[in-house]
Structure formats: C-alpha cells, structure tokens
C-alpha cells in the first residue's frame, strides 16, 4: 500500500436544492477509507478530531452535516433529519468512488454512525464509536435535567435563562427561543445552552474550551439543530438502534467510552456493549466527553489502528 500522505482536499457537494455540504479529504489517497461523523448535531468538524486517525494508513473523509460548520445554509432546520443525513453519506461515498468504508463518530456522531450502518451495512467495513448517544428519551432527559445531579451550579444558570413557569420543559422552552424570528433572542438562547454544554464536557474546568464553543455563529448552529433533533427524538423509532443492531454485529467495532462522561453517560455505552458483545469495549477512566486530547484521544488512536490491522489481516 502506498504510504504518501496528501494535503487536505476540499469540495462542496450539493445534496438538495437547499443544502450544500462542505466535504474534506486528507491522509493517504490509497489508504483505507474512513468517514468521521461529528457531534452536536450541528457542531461541525474540527481539525483536532481527525488527529486520532493515522494519515499514513487512512483515507480520512469528513464533512459538516446539514446546517453545520461550513455547510450551507447555516443553522438550517428544513430538510434536516437523520434519514437526510444518511442519504448524504451515500451521496458522499458515491461521489468519492468509495465502495466500502469504516465509519467513525462520537456523541451524536455515534448515533448517526449506527443509524447509517443499520441502513447500509453492505457499505461499511466496521465502526469506531465513542461517547455513545442512542437518542432515547432517557439520553435527552439526562442532558436537560439529569446532569444537574453533578453540575447543580451550572444547571442553575442554564435553567434560570428560562422563566420559572416554563422550566418544567427546558427542551421545548429553549427550542422556542432558538427558532424565534428575533435573531437576538436566538443568539442569547444559543449562548446560554452552549455555555452549559461546554462547561460540562471536560474532565477538569477549561475556560479555553468554553470560549471556543460559545462563539455566536457556531453556538447558534449546534444549539438550534441539537434541540431540533431532540424535540423529534432524532427522527428515530424508540429503541431503534439497539433493536436493529443485528444488522451490523458481524462487522468489527471499537466502542470507547469515558467513565465520567457527563454529557453522554456510560449507561448508553453499556447498553450498546450488552447488545453488541462482539465489539471491543474500552472504558477510559480519567476522561469526560471531550475527546480531542488526553487519554480519550490516545485510546481512540489505538482503536483506529486496531481497525486498520483488522482490515489488513482480512484482505491479506
């Protein structure tokens, strides 16, 4: 296999009359193809997330999902559903001339990876999943209310943005503001929601991480699209991902979960592990939701390397 590593190449791909995606390739053009699915939904891909793949081994494909990052229109909710994102993945794969690829994703990206894999198992070589989010009611309830058991101080600020008579349903209250026709109201709600998210993601307090995530335009996209998917149950049937897991259990998979992930708690990862016992399950102890440095990044790199070796051995 050729080992030359290319510079990143970028393209824009129109997937509907409304939506155009930003797509990027890097790594080895002759490497094993792997597509990375970012979180949020609506967060977009950051360069640091791709450092857990060896560019000499992999042909690394990433893209900003509908309404996120450099895709347009920005923060758009129309035609923005899980099935639309699955169709986008197929359009990207076809446009790049890839027959089968590994699928990697964290947080919301793990949910989308499972949904895509179960819809198109014949197009998948395997999976690397972390920060498992199954989009069940319990996952969503935890994010908006359960995490106050660990971060009561942060949650109090987050909830107090909403008038007291609406706090019984924070998701709906935030969604109304994030979809308001008043742009100032949207931005204020986005920054309030994203600030709470940012302050609960790291193992230790990280002011730099918070500053980066509350940049207004990026905060609007992820807050609006995130609540849009939560209000709609991620456009999945209840329990769908675990019910359909047999469609992909024959494929290699690495599941990596932080023990102290307070955004996507380990209970969901454990449920996936129980449903998919053939997958390798790794718990990273001193870590929270952030995965771009520290122990999580190291373990994710090792997991990707194992998938590469699995592929090499299977095709030898």
pLDDT in tens, 247-259: 999 999 999 999 9
Q: What is the pLDDT of residue 293?
A: 87
Count other Cβ atoms within 10 Å, centred on residue 263. Answer: 19
Instruction: For residues 302 and 270, state if they share a domain.
Output: yes
User: How high is the mean pLDDT of the chain?
Assistant: 95
Q: Catalytic: 120? A: no
Does residue 211 or residue 70 have the better pLDDT?
70
**Would you call 168 a catalytic residue per the annotation?**
no
Among 38, 130, 228, 289, the active-site one is 289
Q: Which domain holds residue 205?
A: 138-234
- As beta bridge partners, residue 103 has 35, 127
Same structural domain, 204 and 67: no
Residue 261 domain-assigned? yes
pLDDT tens per residue, range 80-119: 999 999 999 999 999 999 999 999 999 999 999 999 999 9
| Active-site pick, 71, 107, 147, 197 | 107
- Whose structure tokens read 């590469």? 308
143-170 average pLDDT score: 96
Residue 156 has a pLDDT of 97
Q: Within this chain, do residues 253 and 107 fall inside the same structural domain, yes or no?
A: yes
Compute the radius of gyration of the chain from its Cα atoms.
Answer: 19
Asked which of 234, 255, 288 is the last residue of a domain, the reply is 234
Structural domain contains residue 1: no
106 and 46 co-located in one domain: yes
> Count of domains in the chain?
2
Catalytic choice (110, 261, 268, 291): 261
Q: Which residues contact 132 (CB under 8 A, 6 or more apart)?
A: 110, 255, 257, 264, 268, 269, 272
pLDDT at 5: 63
User: With contact defined as beta carbons under 8 Å apart, do 224 and 311 qualify?
Assistant: no
Q: In what order do the strands lie in the sheet with 280-284?
A: 6-14, 20-27, 58-64, 32-37, 101-106, 124-130, 253-258, 280-284
* Last-in-domain residue among 184, 204, 234: 234
One domain, residues 202 and 55? no
The pLDDT, as a whole number, for residue 212 is: 81
Q: For the chain, where are the E strands, in sequence order?
A: 6-14, 20-27, 32-37, 58-64, 101-106, 124-130, 253-258, 280-284
Q: From CA 5, how far away is CA 197, in angstroms rounded?
A: 35
Average pLDDT rounded to a whole number, residues 260-271:
96
Structural domain includes residue 240: yes
193 and 165, same domain (yes or no): yes
Q: Is the pLDDT of residue 2 over 50?
A: no
Hey, which residues does 126 pair with through a beta bridge?
A: 102
Taken as a whole, the chain contains a residue count of: 316
Statement: residue 48 has pLDDT above 80: yes
State the CATH number of the domain containing residue 116.
Answer: 3.40.50.1820
pLDDT in tens, 180-192: 999 999 999 999 9
Predicted pLDDT of residue 21: 98
Q: Is residue 252 part of a domain?
A: yes
Average pLDDT over residues 134-144: 96
Identify whether 6 is a catalytic site residue. no
Domain limit, last residue, from 234, 250, 267: 234
Q: Are residues 295 and 156 in the same domain?
A: no
């Amino acid at each position: 296999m050729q080992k030359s590593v290319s510079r990143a190449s970028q393209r824009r791909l129109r997937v509907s009359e409304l939506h155009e995606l930003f797509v990027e390739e890097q790594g080895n053009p002759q490497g094993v193809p792997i597509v990375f699915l970012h979180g949020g939904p609506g967060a977009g891909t950051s360069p640091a997330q791709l450092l857990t793949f060896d560019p000499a081994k992999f042909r690394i494909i990433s893209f900003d999902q509908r309404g996120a990052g450099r895709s347009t229109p920005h923060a758009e909710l129309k035609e923005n559903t899980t099935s639309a994102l699955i169709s986008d993945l197929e359009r990207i794969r076809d446009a790049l001339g890839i027959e089968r690829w590994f699928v990697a994703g964290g947080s919301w990206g793990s949910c989308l990876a499972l949904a895509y894999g179960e819809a198109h198992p014949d197009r998948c070589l395997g999976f690397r999943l972390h920060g498992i989010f199954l989009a069940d009611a319990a996952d969503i309830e935890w994010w908006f209310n359960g995490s106050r058991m660990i971060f009561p101080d942060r949650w109090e600020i987050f909830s107090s943005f909403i008038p007291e008579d609406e706090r019984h349903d924070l998701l709906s209250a935030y969604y109304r503001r994030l979809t308001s026709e008043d742009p100032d109201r949207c931005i204020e709600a986005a920054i309030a929601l994203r600030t709470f998210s940012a302050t609960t993601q790291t193992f230790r307090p990280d002011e730099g991480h918070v500053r980066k995530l509350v940049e207004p335009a990026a905060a609007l996209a992820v807050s609006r699209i995130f609540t849009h998917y939560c209000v709609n149950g991620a456009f999945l049937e209840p329990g769908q991902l675990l019910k359909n897991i047999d469609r992909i259990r024959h494929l290699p998979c690495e599941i990596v979960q932080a023990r102290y992930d307070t955004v996507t708690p380990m209970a969901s990862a454990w449920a996936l592990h129980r449903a998919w016992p053939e997958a390798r399950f790794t718990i990273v102890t001193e870590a929270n939701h952030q995965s771009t440095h520290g122990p999580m990044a190291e373990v994710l790199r090792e997991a990707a390397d194992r998938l590469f070796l699995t592929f090499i051995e299977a095709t030898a």
